[in-house]
Amino acid sequence: MTVIETRPSAPVQMARADVAAAVAAAERMLAALGVDTQAEHLRRTAERMVLSYGEVLRPAPFEATDFVNDAKHQGFVIVRDVAFAAICAHHLLPFVGSATVGYLPGARLLGLSKLTRLVEHATRGLQVQENVTQQIADGLQQVVPDNGGMGVIVEAEHLCMTLRGAKARGASTVTSAWRGALARDVSVRSEFLSLAGRGWRP
Ligand SMILES: [Zn+2]
């Protein structure tokens, strides 16, 4: 069993967080924005806001379980479309999407649910999508180091881009990370993309 050490770019340590100070600051921020913090629906909003951020920003514990590859499986192991929601480090607004993660196993196999845990682990904290993508690949490299190659595709809608600013509703951002044979060999990468069901998508 391997405990991976990768962490989101800005993990929030709630044990060290001063919840009362955060609630007071959130209350002041809302008031400074012109919000009536004494209106019925808003009286406890600052507190809820702080507790919500505390919950979604806390790093998810991750322990990898691996198994011997006794059948000597040499093909891809891919888990497709693992849904996630994360908070963007630049605007503190959510980005919501899915990740497809796969690898070519060596002597060890990773428990399948651990691929989804890797995604959950990488999407906690204040994050940017490019880092999430690389951290999933780095985490996978740590837990199955003798792999023949790996691929990660992350696709997400960023509310900071669709709700405000460019207001590009429906726009999604796709990022990828390739390691080993997938980085070197376009035909291996094509097989991954085909199995991932993305051969016909941009
Ligand atoms: Zn953003």
Domain parsing of the chain, residue ranges: 64-195
Q: How far is the CA of 68 from the centre of ligand 1 (A)?
A: 41
On whether the CB atoms of residues 152 and 100 are closer than 8 A, the answer is yes
Binding-site residues for Zn(2+), please? 88, 91, 160
pLDDT tens digits, 47-81? 999 999 888 888 777 788 889 999 999 999 999 99
Q: What is the pLDDT of residue 2?
A: 59
128 CA distance to ligand 1 centroid (A)?
Answer: 8
Q: Are 105 and 144 in contact (CB under 8 A)?
A: yes
Question: Domain 64-195: which CATH class?
Answer: alpha beta
pLDDT in tens, 132-162: 999 999 999 999 999 999 999 999 999 999 8
